[in-house]
Copies of this chain bind each other. A is one copy, B any other.
Amino acid sequence: MKSKIPRPTVCRLCMVSRLLEKLHLQGRESISSTELGKLSDISPYTVRKDFSFLGDLKVLNRCYDIVFLNNIIRRRLQLEGEKLVCVVGLGRIGSAILNYDSFLSHGYKIVLGFDSSINRVETIKTDISVYPAYEIEERVHFLSIDFAILAVPASAAQEVAQRLINGGVKGILNFSQSIIKTEVDGIVIQNIDLVNELDFIRARLN
């Protein structure tokens, strides 16, 4: 049985994986822990310590083999294969995300959109199938949707999240201005609050 990876390490490995992908596209074949650290603002010690959770790593030119390393990271974090995603709340932010191109090439296929306004559902211009919000549970369940991205008003967030979870969603990326929570185990929720992000930047300037 492989040891559990600490959360900060999981976070960094995700970032590093994204970075390795870009380096690969640039034609790079290998990289050292020191250079990887510089590019991602992680100390080389931490880079190597994080990699120690991955088992044996192939070495190329005395450095890490970029393709091999990225494959190992993605296998270990179970980031392989395509996941299905829906977007709830098709206001400005929601519809921008609904049409966000980069998800598809990175393992996330957006297949459904929902909005509480029938009028919005009928008039929105998009290639994705959109439905009224009262159909969330049924449709999410029917298509076995894995993740949801939430961009609804704060007042609706918690209730919508519950219905998504009822429908079988396992992870929620929440852009609504209200922290959502769940008692249920095995559900991961990530809250992103734009005002809060600016506040945090501002506070760190001190």
Contact = CB atoms under 8 A, between A and B. Distances in A.
A106 interface: yes
Contact of A205 (B15, B92, B170, B199): B170
Q: Is the interface of A mostly helix, strand, loop or mixed?
A: helix
Interface string A165-189: 0000011110001110100001011
Interface stretch (A16-24, A57-65, A113-121, A132-140): A16-24
Contacts of A93: 93, 96-97, 100
Interface stretch (A27-35, A44-52, A76-84): A76-84
Interface size class of A (residues with CB under 8 A): 35 or more
B13 A195 contact: no
Nearest to A38: B181
B77 A18 contact: no
11 contacts: A39-B179, A92-B96, A96-B96, A102-B177, A147-B198, A171-B205, A173-B194, A173-B197, A186-B205, A188-B202, A192-B192
Interface of A: 7, 10-11, 13-15, 17-19, 22, 39-41, 77-79, 83, 85, 92-93, 95-97, 99-100, 102-103, 106-108, 147, 154, 170-173, 177-179, 181, 186, 188-190, 192-206
